[in-house]
Amino acid sequence: MNESLRVVTLCTGNVARSVMLAAMLEALGADSGHPLETRSAGTHAIEGSAVSARTRDALLAIDELAPTSLNAHRSHQLELADLEWADLVLCAEADHVRYVRRVFPAFALSCCTLGQFARQAPLDTPWSTQVAVVSANDPDPALDVTDPAGGDQAVYDECARTLFDLAQVFLTVLG
C-alpha cells in the first residue's frame, strides 16, 4: 500500500478506544511504511472531554509503542465532515457501525468494526476492495472491543492490548 489511507476511529465517547486505536495506527503505520492519517470520534461524545489517566497509562504500558502524549486530545462527536474526509471508519463495536448506517447511510460501505476487518478482509486485494467486502456484511457483536469505561486500570490495559493486536493484524491485512 503506497497511498495514504485516511481512517476515522470510532467508539462511543471518544475518550478511550478510538483514541487509543488512532494513536496505535499512526505509530504502527509510520513504523511499517503504511502511510495512515487518523481522526478519532465518538457516536455519543461530550465535546471537549479529555482522555482519562487510565487511557493514557494503558497506551504507555504497551512496550512496542513509543510514548505518546494525549494531553491535547479532546473528544469529538462524529460529523459528516469526518466521514467525507475518511476512506474508512474503523469502529470498536457493531453498534457503532449500526449508528453510522442509521445516521449517515451514504457512508455505510466505508464502515466496519476493527475486529471484523481483521478477520474477514480478503488478502492481497486493494484496501478499497477489502473495505467494501467487510462493510457489506452485517456487523458481528462477537468481534467487538469491549468498552473499558468504569473499569480499573487492568481493564483499560486489556482493552489497549486487544486494540494493539488488532491494529497489527489490520496493517498486515492491508499488505
pLDDT in tens, 15-28: 999 999 999 998 89
Whether pLDDT at 1 is above 50:
no
What is the reported pTM? 0.93
Whether residue 171 contacts residue 32, with contact meaning beta carbons closer than 8 Å, is answered with yes
Which tens digits make up the pLDDT trace of 91-106? 999 999 999 999 999 9
Which tens digits make up the pLDDT trace of 63-100? 787 656 666 789 999 999 999 999 999 999 999 999 99
The mean predicted confidence, pLDDT, of the chain is: 92
Which tens digits make up the pLDDT trace of 120-154? 999 999 989 999 999 999 999 999 999 999 999 99
Q: State which fold the 5-174 domain adopts.
A: Rossmann fold (3.40.50)
The whole-angstrom separation of Cα 104 and Cα 86 is 13
SS3 content of the chain, % helix, strand, coil (to 5): 50, 15, 40
Whether pLDDT at 44 is above 70:
yes
Instruction: Name 89's bridge partners.
Output: 8, 111
Query: Within 13 Å, how many C-alpha atoms sit on residue 38's CB side?
Result: 24
Whether residue 63 contacts residue 157, with contact meaning beta carbons closer than 8 Å, is answered with no
